[in-house]
Structure 1
Amino acid sequence: MRAQDGASASFAGLIAPLSMAEFRTLLRTRTPCHVNGPAADRYAGLASWNGLMDALQSGVIPVRKLRLSQGSKILPAAFYRDANGLRATSLEAVMRSGGSAIV
C-alpha cells in the first residue's frame, strides 16, 4: 500500500496497536472498534478531503454506505442525506466540529 505522500505504509502499521489476530477477529465478527491513537492526523496521508468528496459525489463510494458519528453516536442519515443524495454542507459541518466519517 502506498500512502498519498508516496511513503510506504504497512498494513500492520495501519491497524496498530491492534495485532493482526485481533484485527481479523474484529473483522470476522463485524465488531466495530475505536482505538485512540497518538496523533489525530495519523491517517491523513491516506486520503484527502477532496478525494473523499469526489468518491462520494461520483458514486465510487455509494452515499448510502456513508455513516457519520459525533460524540460516539451515529448520526441519523437524514442529517446529511436527502432524496438527491449527499448534503455536502452538512457533512462538512459535522467534520469541522470533530465528527467522523465511516465508509
Structure 2
Amino acid sequence: MNVNHLVKHELNKRALEFEHKGDCAPTIMLSPRELSAMTYLAKGMTRAQAAHEMDISEHTLRVYIEAARHKLGALNTTHAVARALSHGLIIV
C-alpha cells in the first residue's frame, strides 16, 4: 500500500465516523451516472480524471456529485462517498 492509498483510507475512515448507524435505513437510489461518479471519487480520482473517464465535462460531473450528495444526505463530497460505501451502493 502506498502512502496516498493510506491517506485516502484514513480520510474514508474519518468520514464514516460521522455516519449514524440505524437499524432501518431507508433505501437510497442513485442513478447509474451518480454511482459511477461516486465510485471514481472513492477510488481516489480527481474530478477532472473522473469526468474524463465518464467522457463528460467537470460541470456535468459536479451535477451528478451534488445530486448524489443530496440523496445521501451528506455534508460534503467526502461524506457522500463514505455514505455510499457504508450503504453498499459502491464497492471499491
* TM norm structure 2: 0.28
Between the two structures, name the one with larger relative contact order (CA 8 Å, sep ≥ 6). 2
Larger strand proportion, structure 1 or 2? 1
Larger Rg: 1
* TM norm structure 1: 0.26
